[in-house]
Chains A and B, each alone.
Chain A
Amino acid sequence: MVDKLNTVLITEEPLSVESLYQQVQVPEAGGNCLFVGTVRNENKGKTVTHLEFESYIPMALKEMDKIAQSAQNKFELQLCAIGHRVGTCKLGEIAVIIACSSKHRKQAFEACQFAIDELKKHVPIWKKEFLQDGSYWVNSRP
Chain B
Amino acid sequence: MTRRLLLLACSLCLLAGMAQGVPCDRDGDDTLTAPELATAILDSLDVRFMGGTAAAPSPVDLRDAAFVYEHWDGRALKITDTSGRATTLTRPLRRIALFNSDTLEMMRSIGVEPDRVVGVSKYTLEDPTYFPEYRGTANLGSVWSPDYEQAAAVRPDAVFLYATISQSSCDEIEETLLSIDPTIRFFRFDSYRPAVYADEARKMGALLGTEEETERFLAFHGSVMNTVAGRIASIPADDRVPVYLESWNDYKSAGKGSGYDEKIELAGGRNIFADTTVEYPVVDPEAVISRNPDVIVKIVGAGELVFGGYGGDDPAPFEEVCRTIESRPVWDRIGAVRDGRVHVIHSDVIGGPEYFIGVAYMAKWFYPDLFPDLDPRAIHRQYLEEFQRLDYDLDKHGTFVYPA
Q: Report whether chain A binds chain B.
A: no
Residues of A within 8 A of B (CB): none
Residues of B within 8 A of A (CB): none
